[in-house]
Structure 1
Amino acid sequence: MGGDLRHSGLTGGADTERTRPGAEARAAGTPKTVGVVWGLLILNTLGSAGAKTIIPLPRSLIQFVTMGALVAAFTLALALNLRLRVRSSAFLFLLTLLLVPSVLSSLQLESGLGALFRCARLMLFVGTLWLLSRWWDGLTFVRHHIRMYFAVLGSVAAGLVVSPGAALPELYGGRLVGALWPLTPPQIGQYAAVIIGLSVLLVLGRRTDRASAAVVIVPSAVLLALTHTRTATLGLLVGLTLAIGSLVLTSAAARRFFTWAVLCAAVAATVFAGALRAWFLRGQSQENLTSLTGRATVWDALLAAPRTTVETLFGVGLGDKSFGGLPIDNSWLAVYHEQGLTGIALVAAMLLVLGGVALLRPPSLPRACAIFLISYCAIASYTEAGLGDASPYLLHLTVAAALLAAPATATPLPAPEPPRRHVPRWARDRR
């Protein structure tokens, strides 16, 4: 499970770990099927609710595809890891503990039978992550992450080209949505921001060339701008600032990039102040912006709702992250509503463990990528739900945990036995 960090392109290149010939024979080699499993997990977390697509897709069909992807991912991961060899992980242990309040609260059936179905989904999701932990290997999952989400953004771009009207509907205020698969602007903005940040860090760490990174960064940045997603943009900027800051003392490229980024930001803030302000406001009033586009109203109602002691501790069961028919759009309140204070404690512990380990690691590219992902998820948790259930945010944090995992040492190869000299029979008889 040694690092498979590569120089050329996002698709990989020459091995930089200088592994001895024959080291590929060790049991922890990373099969290509692991990337397929990761893609199926991403497909499962795309969701089934969103904008109207060019070809109407029944929600039951979308749910069948997404759940089928999860079952296929678990089956493939189990087939790859029949001996159930896993890597110890405090993050996955805490995520597994999150199943306890999820199941206990869902058994009350306050959220209906759908809560038990969502618990089963979360169990399969967590089980698949455990099975994949055997192959936590340097930047391997970062590359899988970029490839898969870039493919998702490719479908969004294709929908924009085929039907601009459907991809930029008035219902969403002209913001970009998925016209081929029902994706909302915040989803698209999240995917774009994450792969932009990771690609920038790979360039700074010289794990890919600039041309290959530009193929990912430029179109993703255009799609991010078209979504007008403030949370994703803020998460990208803050996450990159923290990640690059962790490399400044050890990387000249990081120092140059940081300096140029600050200068460009200052110029843009001066020259394009009006345009940036208009993009940020999205045509909303100051009052609407202060209430976080109506989110604060839902949050206040959720916190004011009466709860029993059991509901306060364990929640009301896994649901669709809504309250009173309106989306909660806050990970902490969604976890409080569905998994109670116990769930909040476990989710907070996951972030604190990952953040603490990242701070203790020496400066490196994997550490910087992990810092970016952790900080992005922490920022997005204020206006997006997902930290307590199977979601892209848990996949981001899993990639961060894989980056922070202690590197495995290659199993020493046995020394070859010296060839035996052939002694003729007549010589043996004389002896």
Structure 2
Amino acid sequence: MERDHTSKIVGMVWGLLILNTLGSAGAKTIIPLPRSLIQMVTMGALVAAFALALTVNLRLRIRASAFLFLLTLLLALSVISSANLESGFGALFRCARLALFVGTLWLLSRWWDGDLAFVRHHIRMYLAVLGSVAAGLVASPGAALPDLYGGRLVGALWPLTPPQIGQYAAVIIGLTVLLVLGRRTDRTSAVVVIVPSLVLLALTHTRTATLGLLIGLALAIGSLVLTSAAARRFFTWAVLCATVAAVGFGSLLQTWFLRGQSQENFSSLTGRAKVWSALLAAPRTTSEHLFGVGLGDKSFGGLPIDNSWLAVYNEQGVVGVSLVAAIIIVLGGVALLRPPSLSRACAIFLISYCAIASYTEAGLGDASPYLLHLAVAASLLAAPASATPLSTPVAPRRRVPRWAQRSEMS
């Protein structure tokens, strides 16, 4: 009973972390929400997550991992780069937020033992977020599909952008497919998750999320092919369906993929390449080159950077890029060394998705959904906890009377 109660609290903590990373900037909502109110809610969620995690782990029992160690080094680097206030006092506020975020992950690491508990928490919470998106679409289709975003789906109840919605949909689709292949969920529940999420993903017209889903699933299922007949059947049918779709619906898929953009706009990644070139060409001091200018809003010259590696380079320098690369490499290397299993496949999917999305999305250097995806992967790759408790109480020694000692000696 106590274990179930603790599991529920851990799930609540995970949900609060997800709420914190939803952000406060996005489309106009049906009911206008002041940005200050949204920021208050998201920061309050993070403080509540840390407090709840502390209540269920008062003895501060943690499981050390290379992922959390590297993340802590990234936090220390962020504080160093933000200390000169080149990015303003907001940089120190973001450092405090990252510190609470990393601290909460350390407290939750006690329950990282290679099982699928955090995968289920991840799916449930993001499914609830997508439920709010679907509710906004039903309540006000005009607000959910605004012309400002080219008719792409946005959050009409909470300010979510199309890339955010596409990311959440792609991640839970991939994880649910893997759970079905591993026979850890029934097909009815899987259909309830996958079908609506696919519809929302299609309405966002998000290319990065779609490619991340397809490539990530291919790699994850490929890791199961030698040990799972279900994975082999799914892989075969997926290849067959993809071939038929490419031949029969090639022009339709191309139209969806281009989103009505010109060839020049598409080749420059919707203008991202111009921002990237300007960022790389900007003069920097040796300190800025090594440690960056401090945590900011992932923009340069007033325009979003939309690349995790360049955003980290701008804010945390070359050292920060090295730490983020080490996180991806370490998690990927551990996943490759693990024997084939469903947990390993889910981890491979999440790691590969984050690596692919990092090219056109920022977030690997700060508290974000991408770090939560990698945290789930780290929990899946952790070695199972020992069956013995962390601290075994020593039984008190029974005193033996002297007359009994004499009788034993005789």
- Fold-level similarity (TM above 0.5): yes
- 1:386 Cα shift? 0.2
Q: Does 1:342 align with 2:342?
A: no
Match of 1:69? 45
Match of 1:425? none
- 1:105 Cα shift? 1.1
Match of 1:359? 336
Q: Can you list the C-alpha shifts for 1:125-170, whole angstroms capped at 9, x where unaligned?
A: 0000000000114000000000000000000000000000000000
Q: Does 1:96 align with 2:72?
A: yes
Q: Are 1:28 and 1:134, in contact at CA under 8 Å, matched by a contact in 2?
A: no
Partners in 2 of 1:307 and 1:99 — Cα distance?
22
Q: Can you list the C-alpha shifts for 1:50-88, whole angstroms capped at 9, x where unaligned?
A: 000000000000000000000000000011111100011
Q: Identity over aligned residues, as a percent?
A: 85
Secondary structure in structure 2 of the residue aligned to 1:207:
coil
- 1:30 Cα shift? 4.8
Partners in 2 of 1:231 and 1:30 — Cα distance?
36
| Aligned counterpart for 2:59 among listed residues 65, 77, 83 | 83
1:82-231 matched pairs, under 5 angstroms: 82-137=58-113, 138-231=115-208
Partners in 1 of 2:182 and 2:34 — Cα distance?
44
Match of 1:313? 290
RMSD, aligned CA: 1.6
- 1:411 Cα shift? 2.0
Partners in 2 of 1:301 and 1:100 — Cα distance?
28
Q: Can you list the C-alpha shifts for 1:211-254, whole angstroms capped at 9, x where unaligned?
A: 10010000000000000000000000000000000000000000
CA distance change for structure 1 residues 150 and 352 in 2, over 3 Å: closer, same or farther?
same
Partners in 1 of 2:258 and 2:7 — Cα distance?
46
Match of 1:52? 28
Q: Can you list the C-alpha shifts for 1:271-324, whole angstroms capped at 9, x where unaligned?
A: 111110000000001110100000000000000000000000100000000000
Q: Which amino acid aligns with 1:105?
A: S
Q: Which amino acid aligns with 1:115?
A: A
| Aligned counterpart for 1:259 among listed residues 223, 236, 242 | 236
Match of 2:402? none
- 1:409 Cα shift? 2.3
Q: Which amino acid aligns with 2:14?
A: W
- 1:408 Cα shift? 1.0
Q: Which amino acid aligns with 2:101?
A: F
| Aligned counterpart for 1:379 among listed residues 347, 352, 356 | 356
Q: Are 1:45 and 1:391, in contact at CA under 8 Å, matched by a contact in 2?
A: yes
Partners in 1 of 2:368 and 2:273 — Cα distance?
23
Q: Are 2:6 and 2:56, in contact at CA under 8 Å, matched by a contact in 1?
A: no
Partners in 2 of 1:56 and 1:143 — Cα distance?
32
Q: Can you list the C-alpha shifts for 1:344-383, whole angstroms capped at 9, x where unaligned?
A: 0100000000000000000000000000000000000000
Secondary structure in structure 1 of the residue aligned to 2:232:
helix
Please list every run of 5 or more consecutive structure 1 residues that lacks an aligned counterpart in the other structure: 1-23, 415-431
Partners in 2 of 1:50 and 1:92 — Cα distance?
30
Q: Which amino acid aligns with 1:350?
A: I
Q: Are 2:293 and 2:316, in contact at CA under 8 Å, matched by a contact in 1?
A: yes
Match of 2:396? none
Match of 2:305? 328
Q: How does the TM-score come out when normalised to structure 1?
A: 0.89
Q: Are 1:30 and 1:135, in contact at CA under 8 Å, matched by a contact in 2?
A: no
Q: Are 1:176 and 1:227, in contact at CA under 8 Å, matched by a contact in 2?
A: yes
List structure 1 runs of 4+ shifted beyond 3 angstroms.
27-30
Partners in 1 of 2:20 and 2:133 — Cα distance?
17
Partners in 2 of 1:191 and 1:250 — Cα distance?
29
Secondary structure in structure 2 of the residue aligned to 1:98:
helix
Q: Are 2:347 and 2:378, in contact at CA under 8 Å, matched by a contact in 1?
A: yes
Secondary structure in structure 2 of the residue aligned to 1:292:
coil
Aligned pair count reads 391
Partners in 1 of 2:316 and 2:78 — Cα distance?
6
1:238-317 matched pairs, under 5 angstroms: 238-317=215-294
Q: Counting helix residues as a fraction of each chain, which structure ranks higher?
A: 2
